[in-house]
């Protein structure tokens, strides 16, 4: 009797456990759920917790509450300036209306087939109305917001909210990159040539100014040198005249000694004459040797004043 009663209790507990297992379900913090009765939605659950359903009759469909990614394949688009651009974009979205999402898309695996064409069409519209520099540099942020707004408007019918749209990479096609690089290289070479030409022009101006200043300085120096030389010659002649007026005989003797020194001086290294040799053809009783004819060093005739020899 006790064994039969124990068996009945075990069966009852098992049935209750099985019923609880199939009737209770948990909705996690990052989930939301729809309770379906024979495929028809009867209840939407947005808060986490433990819930119940009718076993067998009702089923539960779970949806993620987190922000999800939709990665688009790389595609080639054309900007308004007729430049081809390779764009790699992605969108972030979340399910805000699980019932509408279930009715229109069914599950998250089908998001790409429904939302992907919408994102692709919006990308083509916005990129086609912008120029290349706007997309890659100047207005990229505003263009991304514009795409997100357009996709968001069309995504509402799917129960989705598009949080953000981003372009991971926007590059020119390989051939276009080569053309752009060639253009950039030509532009830099042109600028370099202009800089070189400006530098050469500045160098020529500086060189011409320097040459002109050198010429002026040399002319001034030569003029000043000639002036000083003339003043020196005049001073020398004045001194010679004073010396002659004081002692004509001594002056004549001194001038003759200078003439002897210059006449008998050895030629320099660049002369064709041999060093140490001086050749003169002159008579012994010439006036040039008048101071050699007297033991006292007195000539036959007085020396002429400067300028008359």
pLDDT band (50, 70, 90) for residue 219: very high
**Spatial CB neighbours of 68, under 8 Å, sequence gap ≥ 6:** 92, 93, 94, 95, 108, 111
User: Check: CATH 3.30.479.30 for 68-172?
Assistant: yes
pLDDT value, residue 214: 92
**164/169: higher pLDDT:** 164
* Residue range 95-110: mean pLDDT, rounded: 88
| Residue with tokens 């990129």, as numbered in its chain | 127
Which burial class, exposed, middle or buried, applies to 164 when counting CB atoms under 10 A from its CB (0-12, 13-18, 19+)?
Answer: middle
**Spatial CB neighbours of 100, under 8 Å, sequence gap ≥ 6:** 157, 158, 159
Are 135 and 81 spatial neighbours (Cβ–Cβ below 8 Å)? Answer: no
Residue 291 in this model has a pLDDT that exceeds 70: no
45-65 pLDDT per residue, tens:
989 998 988 888 888 999 999
Query: Coil, strand or helix: which one is 77?
Result: strand
| Residue with tokens 């120029």, as numbered in its chain | 131
pLDDT band (50, 70, 90) for residue 14: confident
**Choice among 132-136, 192-196, 233-237 with the minimum mean pLDDT:** 132-136
* Residue range 77-95: mean pLDDT, rounded: 83
* pTM across the whole model: 0.51
pLDDT value, residue 280: 66
Residue 306 in this model has a pLDDT that exceeds 50: no
DSSP code at position 33: E
Instruction: Please report, for the chain, the start and end positions of each structural domain, with discontinuous segments joined by +.
Output: 2-64, 68-172, 252-267+277-309
């Amino acid at each position: 009797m006790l064994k039969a009663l124990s068996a009945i209790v075990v069966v009852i507990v098992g049935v209750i456990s099985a019923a609880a297992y199939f009737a209770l379900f948990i909705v996690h913090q990052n989930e939301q759920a729809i309770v379906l009765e024979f495929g028809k939605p009867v209840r939407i659950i947005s808060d986490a917790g433990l819930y119940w359903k009718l076993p067998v009759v009702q089923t539960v469909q779970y949806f993620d509450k987190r922000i999800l990614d939709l990665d688009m394949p790389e595609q080639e688009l054309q900007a308004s300036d007729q430049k081809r651009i390779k764009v790699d974009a992605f969108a972030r979205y979340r399910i805000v209306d699980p019932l509408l999402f279930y009715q229109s898309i069914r599950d998250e695996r089908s998001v790409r087939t429904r939302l992907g064409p919408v994102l692709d069409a919006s990308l083509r519209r916005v990129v086609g109305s912008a120029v290349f520099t706007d997309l890659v540099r100047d207005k990229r942020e505003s263009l991304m917001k514009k795409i997100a707004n357009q996709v968001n408007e069309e995504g509402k019918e799917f129960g989705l909210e598009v949080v953000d749209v981003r372009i991971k990479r926007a590059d020119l096609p390989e051939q276009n990159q080569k053309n752009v690089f060639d253009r950039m290289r030509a532009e830099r070479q042109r600028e370099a040539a202009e800089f070189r030409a400006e530098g050469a022009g500045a160098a020529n101006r500086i060189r011409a100014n320097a040459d002109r200043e050198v010429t002026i300085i040399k002319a001034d120096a030569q003029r000043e040198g000639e002036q000083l030389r003339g003043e020196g010659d005049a001073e020398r002649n004045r001194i010679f005249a004073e010396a002659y007026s004081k002692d004509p005989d001594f002056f004549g003797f001194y001038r003759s000694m200078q003439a002897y020194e210059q006449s008998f001086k050895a030629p320099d290294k660049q002369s064709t004459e041999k060093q140490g040799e001086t050749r003169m053809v002159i008579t012994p009783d010439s006036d040039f040797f008048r101071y050699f004819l007297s033991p006292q060093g007195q000539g036959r005739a007085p020396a002429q004043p400067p300028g008359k020899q």
